[in-house]
Amino acid sequence: MTATAPNPRRRPGRWSLVAGVALIAVGVMSFNAYASFTASASYNQAVGTGTMALTLANETSATTNYNLSGSALAPGDTMQRGMLLTFGGTVAAGDLKLSASDSSPTALDDGTANGLTLTIEACSQKWDETTSGGIPTFACGGSQSTVMAATSVRTLIQTPQTLTTNLNLGGANHLRLTWALPAAADNTFQGLSNTIALTLTSDQRAATNK
Amino acid sequence: MLVATGCEGGRLGRAARHALARLATFVVMGALVLVAAGDAAGRFRLVPAPERTGGTAYSSTDLVAVVPVPAPRLREGDVLIVRNPREHALLRIDKIVDSDGPQVHIAGDPASRVRQLGGTSWRVRFAIPYAGILLGLLAGPVQGALFVVAGLALVVRAEMRRGRDPSTEPRRAAGAGA
């Protein structure tokens, strides 16, 4: 009887309980070990800025330079120069600003009446050049339009002109620059010599969403 | 005397072994339950290391312990675990590109690739070599469910056996009388 008496300290099912709790614990870890970890939200944001370029060149097929010097001008004379102005790059231009400067102004561009003027015209195709004695003239075989009406150089020096009309602000422009000494110029214009620097600048197109 | 002493010593040794076994069982069980509770509460997780561990000092056979860390508190050199439909890897932060976000560069990524971390990241605290193989076999929703169901069944069975055991009756009766 004594030998078979139940041990009061022994609890039946104790090991089942231990194993059960252990399995539940392992099960919980097993669940979580498979869980998702969304720690990294990855993306690449490519950003590239555009470019702008303004290129001056001689008109296509022209045999004379667009900055060919003019000499011995008399009142009423004109100087025609062909220029190929190209708006390059990946950002279109919003306008063209034209300004002039002269480090040693004379009556031609110091505000004296009947000073030098500049006219700019555009042609839908290349200007046809004709030279006579090395002096070029240009005719438009396509559609001709005015970019800037006759403007005194003095005005260009004082107030840069913003040009947009009849310009292709995203590509090539066939331009004819006509310098003129008005017929009303008097003797005060004799024997003058100037070097006028023209500066062409361009602002970008209006900002937009990209 | 010698035999009697020996018998006495044998009983004492058996009792000590039983006590040690019980103690070891409680310690192991306690540790297991603590780990599972911490795991379930999200204080840390034990996971098998993923296949891709490039750039880190860990192996794909490791078991790694990871803790949640707010993304802004991450530092260069920290190793993160990432598991989502697109990627499953350990990633080492090579450089903090911008602490706002933060935006980081991960070792092994192309130089131009910047990742933005958000919310909570899981940072590796330590690893147990080779233990990841075993946990890798056990990990999963089906396996987890099977373990939990089997564990619950064993607990219920144990409780039923205790309920049928006459040795527990007097204690329960005394408890009822009280």
Task: Supply the pLDDT for residue A41.
Answer: 53
Give the separation between CA B83 and CA B59, rounded to whole angstroms. Answer: 16
Instruction: Pick A82 or B135 by higher pLDDT.
Output: A82
Percentage of chain A beyond pLDDT 70 is 88
pLDDT at A86 over 60: yes
pLDDT at A43 over 60: no
**Residue A41: inside a domain:** no
Task: Supply the pLDDT for residue B6.
Answer: 42
Task: Supply the pLDDT for residue B12.
Answer: 65
Task: Supply the pLDDT for residue B137.
Answer: 85
Give the separation between CA B111 and CA B77, rounded to whole angstroms. Answer: 16
Task: Supply the pLDDT for residue B19.
Answer: 86
A183 at interface of B, judged by CB pairs closer than 8 A: no
Contact between B104 and B96 (Cβ < 8 Å):
yes
**In chain B, which residues have their Cβ closer than 8 Å to the Cβ of A14?**
158
CA distances to A11, A52, A59, A62, A80 from A129, rounded to whole Å, are: 116, 29, 9, 6, 10
Rounded to an integer, the average pLDDT of A76-98 is: 92
Question: Lowest mean pLDDT: which of A84-88, A192-196, B165-169, B173-177?
Answer: B173-177
Q: Encode pLDDT of B123-156 as tens digits.
A: 999 999 998 888 888 888 888 889 999 999 998 9
Question: Lowest mean pLDDT: which of A17-26, A161-170, A198-207, B111-120?
Answer: B111-120
Task: Supply the pLDDT for residue A11.
Answer: 64
Rounded to an integer, the average pLDDT of A45-74 is: 85
**Residue A166: inside a domain:** yes
Q: What interhelical angle do B2-41 and A14-33 show, nearest 10? A: 30
Whether residues A16 and B144 touch (CB distance < 8 A) is answered with no
Q: How many domains, chain A? A: 1
Nearest CA in chain B to A43: B115
Task: Supply the pLDDT for residue B45.
Answer: 87
Q: Encode pLDDT of B88-134 as tens digits.
A: 889 999 888 877 778 888 888 887 788 888 778 889 999 999 988 88
Q: Encode pLDDT of A101-126 as tens digits.
A: 999 999 999 999 999 999 999 999 99
Rounded mean pLDDT of chain A?
Answer: 87
Task: Supply the pLDDT for residue B62.
Answer: 92
Task: Supply the pLDDT for residue A146.
Answer: 96
Domain that holds residue A141: 78-184+194-203
pLDDT at A36 over 70: no
Whether residues A39 and B120 touch (CB distance < 8 A) is answered with yes
**In chain B, which residues have their Cβ closer than 8 Å to the Cβ of A44?**
112-114
pLDDT at B85 over 60: yes
**In chain B, which residues have their Cβ closer than 8 Å to the Cβ of A31?**
141, 144-145, 148
**Residue A147: inside a domain:** yes
Task: Supply the pLDDT for residue A149.
Answer: 96
pLDDT at B169 over 90: no
Tokens 């050049």 sit on residue: A129
Task: Supply the pLDDT for residue B2.
Answer: 40
pLDDT at A5 over 50: no
pLDDT at B10 over 70: no
Kind plus residue range of the DSSP H or E element containing B4: helix B2-41
pLDDT at B5 over 50: no
Task: Supply the pLDDT for residue A122.
Answer: 96
Task: Supply the pLDDT for residue B109.
Answer: 85
Contact between A127 and A138 (Cβ < 8 Å):
yes
A6 at interface of B, judged by CB pairs closer than 8 A: yes
**Residue A37: inside a domain:** no
Give the separation between CA B169 and CA B171, rounded to whole angstroms. Answer: 5
Percentage of chain A beyond pLDDT 90 is 57
Structural tokens at position B90: 């350990």
**Residue A162: inside a domain:** yes
At A116, which CATH number?
Answer: 2.60.120
Structural tokens at position A207: 């900002």
**Residue A26: inside a domain:** no
Task: Supply the pLDDT for residue B178.
Answer: 33
Confidence of residue B168 (pLDDT cuts 50, 70, 90): low
Whether residues A41 and B118 touch (CB distance < 8 A) is answered with yes
Task: Supply the pLDDT for residue B176.
Answer: 43
Confidence of residue B11 (pLDDT cuts 50, 70, 90): low
pTM recorded for the entire structure: 0.48
**Residue A35: inside a domain:** no
**Residue A3: inside a domain:** no
**In chain A, which residues have their Cβ closer than 8 Å to the Cβ of B71?**
39
A210 at interface of B, judged by CB pairs closer than 8 A: no
Contact between B115 and B104 (Cβ < 8 Å):
yes
Shortest CB distance from A33 goes to which of B33, B45, B149? B45
SS3 B23: helix
Q: Encode pLDDT of A194-207 as tens digits.
A: 999 999 998 888 88
Task: Supply the pLDDT for residue B22.
Answer: 83
Pairing relationship of beta strands B115-117 and A40-42 according to DSSP bridges: antiparallel
B147 at interface of A, judged by CB pairs closer than 8 A: yes
A4 at interface of B, judged by CB pairs closer than 8 A: no
Task: Supply the pLDDT for residue B175.
Answer: 45
**In chain A, which residues have their Cβ closer than 8 Å to the Cβ of B155?**
16-17, 20-21, 24
